[in-house]
Amino acid sequence: MTLPTRRNFLAGSAAVASSLSLPQSLPAFSKTSAAGDEELRVALIGCGGRGTGAVNQALSTAGKVRLVAMADAFSDRLEGSLAHLTELKPEQVDVPPERRFIGFDAYRKAIDLDVDVIILATPPGFRPIHFEYAVEKSRHIFMEKPVAVDGPGIRKVLAAAEAAKAKGLKIGVGLQRHHQAPYQEIVRRIHAGELGDIHLLRCYWNSAGVWVRGRKPEWNEMEYQMRNWYYFNWLCGDHIVEQHIHNLDVCNWVMKGYPVKAQGQGGRLIRNGKDHGQIFDHHMLEYTYADGTKMVSQCRHMPDCRSEVNEHVHGSLGIANMGRANMKLNDGSHWRFTEKYQDPYQVEHDVLFDAIRTGQQHNEAENGAMSTMTSILGRMATYCGKEVSMDQALSSELDASPQSYEWDATPPVVPDEQGDYPVPTPGITASF
């Protein structure tokens, strides 16, 4: 069997992309650019902390911007976000009860409204279907990373990304280091040859871990997993996908491409209780790029251990510390970024909204998808304990999504009689 490369997949998905990009009878308010100071109307899908922050940043861009609709699975999340945003930007928030939508289908109701820009900030398992629908409706989009949790989801995002290009839609993805001046400058210097030939990349997201929300008696299994989405792969993809994507993406940026294979190991040593769902608490990987260059990757959720969130590039002429924006060269010279700091979370929205207003090309969806796929590739390799190629991972039919999106539906994984969830087992778990 010949497995598809990303290029072959994109060619093979032309039918899907073309069906999304066919000329449609668009409502008058839908536009691929906004001239001058024309008001841009924003809808938020996913009202957690990151979605709330993204809206605040969108409302802080140049020109007239107004939040007019919100959607979330839970009313308490929506109302809490709305109250906070109203306090921050009272003159730019206009979301009456009839434009507040709750439930699994809430995203469609918000996207169908008279809106220009959609902010997608739900758990990443929902991103492919939300992104696809927003592109179908010809909306400009900012979507948080990661953009999917499995190969089928990535293929859906890639097809919709091609459709978005055909429609001239502007797409931003929350990999904000691409809009962070120190990263931009140090990557520019590496690409200009100041480190010489790249020999090795190292990247880390080693931290104590994240929140756990205790089970409440009134929650059924679906609500419990939705409230604790970080610990279930159909919603989160594991922390290698949800967090470590940032570091892997930086290394891909440096390499101007994506790994062709990965092998490694992982498991659960510390965060292995019933309330930690099914994800690992550590992953250690060796990725290989097309030219043979290796990237060593670590991510860990373990309290009271050494923490590091950073990337390092080793070249024939020296070493770059990406997170600290400095380079030490073998000849004894040293470079450090010293310009004034600008919040990259704000800059990524400034760039997106400027592109909408000026009509400049701006579509970060393909890189967002392939850096997400790099994370998924790593997870697949640690879960199965085998070497997995990018082609195998991208063409995988392992689909994490549930049979239906309903509150009374059975989630893709359920606990056993002791309350434990099935955890991947290297050597036994399917590879792709």
Q: State the pLDDT at residue 13.
A: 43
Tell me if 248 sits within 8 A of 374, measured CB to CB. yes
Give the model confidence (pLDDT) of 178-190 as tens digits.
999 999 999 999 9
- Supply the CATH classification number for the domain 181-340+373-394: 3.30.360.10
Residue 208: pLDDT band by 50, 70, 90 thresholds? very high
In tens, the pLDDT along 297-343 reads 999 999 999 999 999 999 999 999 999 999 999 999 999 999 999 99
Q: What mean pLDDT is predicted for residues 119-123?
A: 98
User: Which whole number is the average pLDDT over 416-420?
Assistant: 96
Of residues 34 and 37, more confidently modeled: 37
Can you give the pLDDT at residue 21? 38
Q: How far apart are CA 230 and CA 50, in angstroms?
A: 14
Token code pair at residue 243: 């967090």
pTM comes to 0.93
Q: Single out the residue of 198, 200, 170, 429 nearest to residue 294, CA to CA.
A: 200
Beta-carbon contacts of residue 191 (< 8 Å; ≥ 6 apart): 254, 256
25 pLDDT tier (thresholds 50, 70, 90): very low
Among the listed ranges 10-14, 227-231, 417-421, which one has the minimum average pLDDT value? 10-14
At 432 the pLDDT is 77
Residue 18 confidence (pLDDT): 40
Q: What is the pLDDT of residues 372-391, one digit of tens each?
A: 999 999 999 999 999 999 99
Residue 14 scores a pLDDT above 50: no
What backbone torsions phi and psi does residue 7 show, to the nearest 5 degrees? -60, -45
Look over the chain and give the mean of its residue pLDDT values, rounded to a whole number. 93
- The per-residue pLDDT for 191 is 98
The arithmetic mean of pLDDT across residues 399-420, rounded, is 96
Please determine, for residue 219, whether its predicted confidence score (pLDDT) is greater than 90.
yes
112's CB contacts (< 8 A; 6+ apart) are 137
- Fold of the 6-177+346-364 domain: Rossmann fold (3.40.50)
Same fold, 6-177+346-364 and 181-340+373-394: no
Q: Does residue 2 register a pLDDT over 60?
A: no
Per-domain residue ranges of the chain: 6-177+346-364, 181-340+373-394
Determine the average pLDDT of the residues in 404-428.
96
For position 268, what pLDDT does the model report? 97
78-112 pLDDT per residue, tens: 999 999 999 999 999 999 999 999 999 999 999 99
Predicted confidence at residue 32, as pLDDT, reads 54
The owner of tokens 């289908």 is 105
Q: How confident is the model at residue 431 (pLDDT cuts 50, 70, 90)?
A: confident
Q: Is pLDDT at 35 greater than 60 in this prediction? A: no
**What HEC string does the chain produce?**
CCCCCHHHHHHHCHHHHHHHHCCCCCCCCCCCCCCCCCCEEEEEECCCHHHHHHHHHHHCCCCCEEEEEEEECCHHHHHHHHHHHHHHCHHHECCCHHHEEECCCHHHHHHCCCCCEEEECCCHHHHHHHHHHHHHCCCEEEECCCCCCCHHHHHHHHHHHHHHHHHCCCEEECCHHHHCHHHHHHHHHHHCCCCCCEEEEEEEEEECCCCCCCCCCCCCHHHHHHHCHHHCCCCCCCHHHHCCHHHHHHHHHHHCCCCCEEEEEEECCCCCCHHHCCCCCEEEEEEECCCCCEEEEEEEECCCCCCEEEEEEEECCEEEECCCCEEEECCCCEEECCCCCCCHHHHHHHHHHHHHHHCCCCECHHHHHHHHHHHHHHHHHHHHCCCEEHHHHHCCCCCCCCCCCCCCCCCCCCCCCCCCCCCCCCCCCCCC
Confidence tier at 3 by pLDDT (50, 70, 90): very low
Is pLDDT of 6 > 90?
Answer: no
- Residue 37's pLDDT is 80
